[in-house]
Structure formats: C-alpha cells, structure tokens
Amino acid sequence: MPDVIVPGRERVSFSKIPEVLPLPDLIGIQRESFDWLLRDGLAEVLAEVSPIEDFTETYQLIFGKHQFKELKYSVEECKDKDMTYSAPLFVEAQFINKETGEIKEQEVFMGDFPVMTGKGTFVINGTERVVVSQLVRSPGVYFSRELDKTSDKDLFIAKVIPSRGAWLEFEVDKRDTVGVRIDRKRRQNVTVLLKALGWTEDEILELFDGAASIRATLEKDHFHSQGEALEDIYRKLRPGEPPTAESAQTLLENLFFNSKRYDLARVGRYKLGKKLGEPSEIARRQLKAKFDGMKATDNPDKKDWEQPRWRIFSEAPAAGRDKAAPTFKGVLTLEDIVKTVQYLVKLHAGEEGYEEDDIDHFGNRRIRSVGELIQNQVRLGLTRMERVVRERMTTQDVEAITPQTLINIRPVVAAIKEFFGTSQLSQFMDQTNPLAGLTHKRRLSALGPGGLSRERAGFEVRDVHPSHYGRMCPIETPEGPNIGLIGSLSSYGRINPYGFIETPYRKVQKGRVTDQIDYLTADEEDRHVIAQANTPIDPRGRFTEDKVLVRRKGGEVDYVTPVDVDYMDVSPKQIVSVAAALIPFLEHDDANRALMGANMQRQAVPLLRA
C-alpha cells in the first residue's frame, strides 16, 4: 500500500522487493540522545557529585531534582537576535548542618542550558550547530597478541580500559612471566600486585592451577609479605617518595577502587562480564574467605595496612557476597583482576575457547552521542564547582550559608559554553541542501577528544570491517586525510542503551521468513547465519531455492539449506547511508565513484527555496 506523505499525493514504490520495515526517524540518533540527557543524564551527574561535604564532614550540600523553566525565546528569535536557544535550569539543593541538624532548602539557578531544536540542531549565538556523534573504543577488557621482534615469540597483553581513570595492563613476556603495568608506569611482576591485594604464594598457585607462567613469575618475585609488595608498587608509581605500606594502600584504593576517580561505566561492566564470565570455583571460595575476613572483627595486633581495608570489593555482586549489594559497580573488584589474569594465562597456554579481541570490531567500538558528550562536560563543570563549594563551606559564616551562597555556577556554565563553542565535535551545520544537513546529523567521527588523531590513525582503523554491515556505511566517507575516520550511520542503524549500533533483521524459523524484526549488535550477529534481502521467497515466506547465499562470522560467504538460516536482511539499502541510498542502481557503480557521488550530492545547490 503506497504511503500518503502529502495529502492528495501518494508515494509509489517501483521496488521489486517489498518494504518490510519503514525507514526509522533519520535524526533519531540526535533527538533520542538529547531526550535521555534531559530525562536521566543530568540526574545521574547530580547524583554522582552529591553530597558535597566540607573537610570536617560537618556540613553537607545535597542536590535533588532538576527542572527546566519556560524557554525565553523561539528558535527564529534566537537566530535573528544572535542569541542561544536555551532554557533556564533549576536544581533543588539542601544544605545540612550535621551538628545542629538544621536543613536549608532552596531551588538554585544553574545557568541557561542549550536546548536542541526539533530538527536535531542547537542555536548557539544565532548560528545553527550540530554535535557530531563520536566513535570510540568501548571501556572493558581487551586481549591482544604481538610478535616480539627479538625472540620471534608471541607476547600476550590484556588491558582493562575504564571510561575514566587509570589503565591496568597485564602481559606475558618472552620469558613466559606475567607482568603488570599500573597507570602506564614501569612493569612489575603480577604476583607483586596479587600479594599487595592480600593473596599468599600458595593461594596464588591454587588460584591459577599452578600454571607454568605463574610459577615462573613467582620464582622471579622476591617479595614475601603484603607490606613489601605494597611498598614496591608505591616505589614504581611514586619514584623518589618514601614508601610506606599505608600510603601504598591508599594510593591503590584511590587508583582503582574509588568511584570518584575510577569509572568503568555501565558499558564497561557489561563488557567485562561478557568477556570474562563467572569466576572459577577456587576464586569464589578464596574471595568469600577474604570477604568473611573483612566482616570479622579487626585484629588490634595487626598494623593498619594489614587490616582487610579493601571495603569496596564487598560491594560487587558475586557468589558468597552480600545479596543486598548494588547490581552495578563502576570500580574494579578483586574478582575482575583475578579473572583477567586467569584469562590471559589460559590464552597464553593456548587453551581452547580463549581468543584475542579485534579492536576494530563494532562490538568493541561504541557511539558517544550528543547526550553523553554534554553529560561529560556537565560532570567536568560540577567537579570544578565542587572545589569552590568546599572552600566556601569552611570560609563562610555558618548562619549566613544557604545553597545559593555556596554554589558558584560559573564553572558549569563555562564548561557547557566551551563545549558548544570550541569542541571539535560541535560543528557549524552544513546547510547547502536538505541532504547535507541530514547527513551532518548522522555523521560518526573517530576524531575528537578521547578519540583518534589523523596522524596516529593507521590503515586498519580506517578500513571497512565486516561488522560495519548495516551499521556504518562502507561508501560514504571523505576523501583525503580523514578517509575512514569519519563515516555515516547506515539507513536502518540505531544506537542501543550501551552505545553500540544495532541493525534490524527478519527472523527465520524452520526455513520460513517471519515478520518478527530483531535488532542485533555486531557481537550478537556473529553467532548467526544471515541471508541477503533479495533472496527469492514465496508469498508464504519460504525460500524458493534449495541453497541460500548467506554470510557468517567475519563476513564469510557460504551456501546453506534454508533450514540453517537464522535471519534475513530487511532491505537492500540497510548496508548504506541515506546519501548512498539515493544513488540509482548503486550496485552497478564502482565503489570509488559511488563515494564521490554520495559526497557530491551534498554539494548540490537547490534552485528552489524550500
């Protein structure tokens, strides 16, 4: 049935393949992300920073609900008067004096917050701007293999990459010993870190089933107590400062187990769980014993650092731990460190089922869209504001203090202004024609803060990857130094809550194509056998041919029987972007010419005023 787009007119499709799924909202990537920011994103950041306490922990400032008041001007007025299209942001704040129990409540103005227009753009100082979505490596754990130039042996490396905080890297070197680098400092034996975290040599051997690489590492490790191990770590991280076990313990706690300084984010926790799975039985037992030790009464004879002070571990949900613990933990846990080293040791030993990661796979790259980018800036502004609030708590007269006198909104306003005005990802909107604007809003960039730089980006990152299918267009990209670093979202692609791109497929059951549509991420897609959209099917949805052309993991092409097919593409244009989909008979064009055509359509000057 033709769609009625304009009253009195019908849109007729001449396609031989029926449209099973209409095109989604093409600027949904912008609008949905900004809606999330207003709904949940700002509340998340305010909850992170709250409560702010003074140095004596006598006074507290707590942030509550936020709300936006009426917009002052319309989009057109802002364009005419060179103003920013924004809404005043107010936050409920409470000042609590713990000594007297006094509570002062106030609604505090937090500055004018730029608001997205209905077209997915922002009007900043009268000019229309677009915030481009950024393609970055997802937080999580990554295993890789490199060839050692001197010995021709394979080196195995594991990196635990957080959303923010210090990196933790493990490696098995050419002598088959396992080392660790904390925050990219000097390498040391992994057993030193494990001892510093409270394991004994016997426990370490039991934990790793006496693996040869762990035995070799223990032989090289000359530290026997937890105190010595902690001091050695401190020497490597803070050379020149006198090491003590207490300061080393505090340093480690702050590096990986303090939620203010370290955050895996929800996506990092999800990726870690997916890659490493459940802990082994021995690890469960040992962790439970350590947790029970933490709950036991402190031994007054022990030195301060020998007390089980890794309180934060007990808060991560796992076997033998408190069931009422929160389900999401942004910091590392003992369990994460153990499972990462276990996986690395087994990968080095060549055990089945353990494989390294492909960092260019779209299961390992995620989208930071407009909402998340602005949220990060607000977090930065609030962190700067936190310092000012603390200082004011100590200097101002307690009687005169109110939330309004404590809060200085300048750092927050400045951070937001800086992002929209100077960030590499906030760009002047391309308005040559309607396609140019639409493509700009659907652009994916690997450049920008926290991303790659053109000079450092190699060939592999820029290349087309099988996991781009239906997610990022293999055709539309600039020619020149940015080739492959800037792409465009495919026609049917959408972003899931973790930031990974999903693409739709029709479910195939027992050789019959159903009307059920499933959105799959690149990781999920790897497990399935998928037929192309133009595979001939009869009116009942059965494949008309005995053998169906399909693709498997890694883009491998094969012919299988209809019963072995799991999914089918929804449309032949799902692989390409909106601009490339406008090219008639695209499949007959050379890829280089199609790339030029897709880019040049955006430069066409419209002869009618729309």
Q: Is residue 282 over pLDDT 80?
A: no
Cβ density class 510-524: b for 16+ within 10 Å, e for less:
eebbeeeeeebbbee
Predicted pLDDT at 487: 95
* pLDDT tens, residue by residue, 337-359: 888 998 998 888 888 888 889 99
Give the Cα separation of 316 and 330 in Å (integer): 9
Give the Cα separation of 211 and 21 in Å (integer): 53
Largest pairwise CA distance in the chain: 89
Region 527-547 average pLDDT: 92
What residue ranges define each of the domains in the chain, with the CATH number in brackets?
Answer: 28-135+367-428 (3.90.1100.10), 140-348 (3.90.1110.10)
State the pLDDT confidence band at 316, using cuts at 50, 70 and 90. very low
Q: Is residue 131 over pLDDT 90?
A: yes
Q: Is residue 297 over pLDDT 60?
A: no
H/E stretch holding 191 reads helix 190-196
Region 305-332 average pLDDT: 45
State the pLDDT confidence band at 211, using cuts at 50, 70 and 90. confident
| Residues 221, 296 contacting (CB under 8 angstroms) | no
Q: Is residue 149 over pLDDT 60?
A: yes
Dihedral sign (CA 331, 335, 338, 342): negative
Predicted pLDDT at 206: 84
Least Cα distance to 604 among 430, 387, 476 occurs for 430
Q: Is residue 610 over pLDDT 90?
A: no
Higher pLDDT, 286 or 382: 382
Least Cα distance to 160 among 343, 347, 380 occurs for 343
State the pLDDT confidence band at 292, using cuts at 50, 70 and 90. low
| Residues 343, 364 contacting (CB under 8 angstroms) | no
Q: Could you tell me the strand order of the sheet in which 486-488 lies?
A: 365-368, 133-137, 443-445, 486-488
Q: Is residue 304 over pLDDT 60?
A: no
Give the Cα separation of 459 and 464 in Å (integer): 10
Q: Is residue 295 over pLDDT 80?
A: no
Q: Is residue 579 over pLDDT 90?
A: yes
Ranking 117-121, 224-228, 364-368 by mean pLDDT, the lowest is 224-228
Predicted pLDDT at 287: 66
State the pLDDT confidence band at 300, using cuts at 50, 70 and 90. very low
Predicted pLDDT at 102: 84
* pLDDT tens, residue by residue, 5-62: 567 788 888 888 888 999 999 999 999 999 999 999 999 999 988 888 888 878 888 8
Q: Which residues contact 550 (CB under 8 A, 6 or more apart)?
A: 529, 530, 531, 532, 557, 558, 559, 560, 564, 565
If you ran DSSP here, which 8-state letter would residue 153 be given? Answer: P
Region 316-321 average pLDDT: 35
Tell me phi and psi for residue 89, to 5 degrees: -105, 130
Predicted pLDDT at 583: 95
Mean pLDDT (the chain, rounded): 86
State the pLDDT confidence band at 315, using cuts at 50, 70 and 90. very low
Give the Cα separation of 141 and 168 in Å (integer): 9
* pLDDT tens, residue by residue, 432-474: 999 999 999 999 999 999 899 999 888 999 999 999 999 999 9
Higher pLDDT, 294 or 171: 171
Question: What percent of the chain clears pLDDT 70, i.e. is strictly above it?
Answer: 90
* pLDDT tens, residue by residue, 228-262: 888 888 888 888 888 888 888 888 888 888 888 88
Q: Is residue 129 over pLDDT 90?
A: yes
What are the beta bridge partners of residue 89?
Answer: 68
Region 374-397 average pLDDT: 89
* pLDDT tens, residue by residue, 61-93: 889 999 999 998 999 999 999 999 999 999 999
